[in-house]
A and B are shown apart, each in its own frame.
Chain A
C-alpha cells in the first residue's frame, strides 16, 4: 500500500505532471503531421528522455504515445492519410464525415473514443499486470526461454506477409544483438577489433534507424504531393463541431465492446493495434442498428477502431511489465526508454522495486485526463498541422534523428550506424521483411541467450533433461502451449497456402 501511495505521489509531482503535459502536446503535434507516424515520432524522442530526470522522462514518453495516437488520427480524418496503419480503419468513416463539413464532430469523436479506450485498457493493465507478475516471479530461466519462444512464434504467425520472412527478420535481430562482448565469457563477438562495437550495438541508433529513418526513405519513393492543397472545409454550425451528450451516451456500448477487443488483442504479443481496429470496426458494423451508415460517416464507425487501437497501447504493456517482454513496436520503444532510465521491467520489478511501476500506472491514468483536456484545445489547430508538406518535414526528421543518435553516447559512429540501419530497414521493407520483428528479436535475444545458458548450467547439475522438465510444472504447461501453438500455426499456414494456390 505504501508503495502504491509513493508511486502516486511520484506521478503527481510537478516535474512528472510537466513531463505528461509536454509529452501530450508533443505527441499530438508530431502525430498530426502526415508522414510522421506515432512510432517514428516517439523513436526520435527516446534519446532525449535520458537527459531528463526519470520522473519527467518516463511520464513524458508514455504521454507522448497517447498523444501521438490521437494526433495521428487527424490526418486520417482530414486528408485520408493515416498517421499510423492503425488509423486506417478510422479513415473509412472519419473522412466521409469530415468531407461533409463535420470534421470537428469527427475529431471530437476520435478524442472521446481514444481517451475512453486508453483509460479502459490502463485499468485492465493495472489489475492484470500485477497478477501476472506474481505468477511470473516463479519463472526460472527455462520458463523464460519457452516464454520468449512463445512470444516470437506468435509474432511470426501473425505477421501479415510470408512467415519465413518474419523468421529471418527475428533471427537477423538476434544476430545483430550478438555483436559486442560475450555476456558470460567476455569473448569478442563480430567486433573485428572495432572499439566502438565492444559495448554492442546501441538500442537508440537501432530503434531510430529501423523505425524512423527507414520509414522516411520508403516514403521518399512516393510522389511528393502538396498536402496543403487537400485541406477540407469545416462547417461553422456549432452542432457539426462538437459531440452532444446524447451522441456520447449512444456510443458507450460500442466503446465498451471495442475497448475490450483492443485490450485482449493488445495483451497478446504481436497482434497489434491495426488488427484490433479492424476487428472492432467489423464488430461495430455487425451489431449496429443501421449498418448501412457505415462507410458514410457513422460515428460508431469512427469510435470503434479508435477505442480499440488506443486500448491496445495500454494492454500491450501487460506482457512488458509482467514478463519484461515487449509485444509490439510501441512496447519496444517504451522498454528502450525504461532501460535508458535504469528501470528493468519484469516480475522482479514488482517485488523488489514496485514504486516506479505504480508511478507508471498512475502517470498513465493522469495522461488520459491531460490528453482529453489538451486534445480539446488542439482540435482547432489540427487543420493547420495537417498541411505541413513532407518535403519540409523529412529533412528536419533526418537532422533531428542524427542529433538524437549522437547525443546518447557522444559518438558519430552511432549516427553512421543509424543511417546504415535506416538503409537496411528501407531495403527490408521493399522486399516485405518486417523490420519491427527485427527490432523485437534484437531486444529479446540477450534475455533468451542468458536464460538458455543458465538453463544448460542448471540441467548439467541435475539428473538430465527429463527429470529437469518433469520437476517443473509451469515449464511443462508452457511447453505444451508452445507445442499446441506450433501445430496451430503450421495448420493455419497450410490452409492459407492451399487457399492462395486455389486462387
Chain B
C-alpha cells in the first residue's frame, strides 16, 4: 500500500469516527437538560468545538492530499517494519492488556507482575532461564520494598487466592 493511499484511508476512517463522536457519543454522553446549562457556555460546547476542529483539520488534510501532486504514489509506506517486529510489539500490547484487565485481579499485582515480566522477557527474545525467572522476581522485589515497605501502599491482591499475603 502506498503512503498516499494509507494516509487517505486514515483520513477517511478518522472522519467517519469523528462524525460518530460528534453526532452520536457527545449528544448521548452529555445531557443538556434542565439545570445543565450554566451561564456562558453549555457543557457540550468544549467537546463540540474540539470535534468541529478535528473535522476541519481532517478536511484540510484531505484537501492537501488531493491537491498535492502525486509523484509519491508508488512510494511504499515507511512506517511498516518487518512483520515479525510488528507482531512482537502487538504481542507485548496483548500481554500488558491481559494483565491489566485480568491478570492483576486474578493473581494479585506481585504474582501477576512476575508472570507479566517473565512473559515479556521471553517475548523479547531472552532465552536464558535464569534471566527469564530471576529478573521478574528481582523487579517485583524492588517494587515490594518501595511500595509496601517504603510508601506503605498496598498493591492489588489476588481474587482467586484470598489467603495469599501479597
Residues of A within 8 A of B (CB): 48, 51, 162, 164-165, 167-168, 171-172, 174-175, 178, 182, 184-185, 187-192, 213, 216-218, 220-224, 389-392, 394-396, 398-400, 402-403, 406-407, 410, 412, 415-416, 418-419, 422-423, 426, 430-432, 445, 449, 452-454, 456-457, 460, 497, 500-501
Contacts and interface: CB of A to CB of B under 8 A. Distances in A.
Given A188-B31, A221-B81, A497-B64, A406 B155 contact: yes
- Residue in B25, B46, B116, B156 whose Cβ sees the most chain A Cβ within 10 Å: B46
A391 B43 contact: no
Given A412-B105, A415-B104, A185 B35 contact: yes
Contacts of A222: 81, 85
A218 to B, nearest CB: 8
B155 A220 contact: no
Nearest to B101: A416
8 contacts: A165-B61, A190-B25, A190-B26, A392-B126, A395-B118, A419-B93, A453-B40, A501-B69
Contacts of B109: 402-403, 406
Contacts of B38: 182, 184-185, 453
Contact of A174 (B43, B50, B69): B50
A406 B156 contact: yes
Given A171-B54, A220-B89, A415-B104, 7 more contacts: A175-B21, A189-B29, A190-B25, A398-B92, A399-B113, A419-B97, A422-B96
Contact of A167 (B53, B136, B151): B53
B37 A164 contact: no
Contacts of B140: 399
B143 A399 contact: yes
Nearest to A452: B41
B23 interface: no
Which 10 pairs from chain A and chain B are nearest by CB?
A391-B124, A456-B40, A395-B120, A182-B43, A164-B61, A190-B29, A220-B89, A395-B117, A175-B50, A187-B36
Contact of B96 (A182, A400, A419): A419
Contacts of B101: 416
Contact of A398 (B57, B79, B116, B155): B116
A449 B57 CA distance: 20
Given A171-B54, A416-B101, A395 B121 contact: yes
B153 A190 contact: no
B165 interface: no
Q: Which of A51, A191, A402 has the most CB of B within 10 A?
A: A402
Interface in B138-163: 139-140, 143, 146-147, 150-151, 153, 155-156
B121 A392 contact: yes
Contacts of B31: 187-188
Contacts of A419: 93, 96-97, 100
Contacts of B64: 162, 164, 497
Contacts of B25: 190
A217 B89 contact: yes
Contacts of B54: 167-168, 171-172, 175
A396 B147 CA distance: 15
B160 to A, nearest CB: 15
Interface in B27-82: 29-31, 35-41, 43-44, 46-47, 50-51, 53-54, 57-58, 60-61, 64, 68-69, 79, 81-82
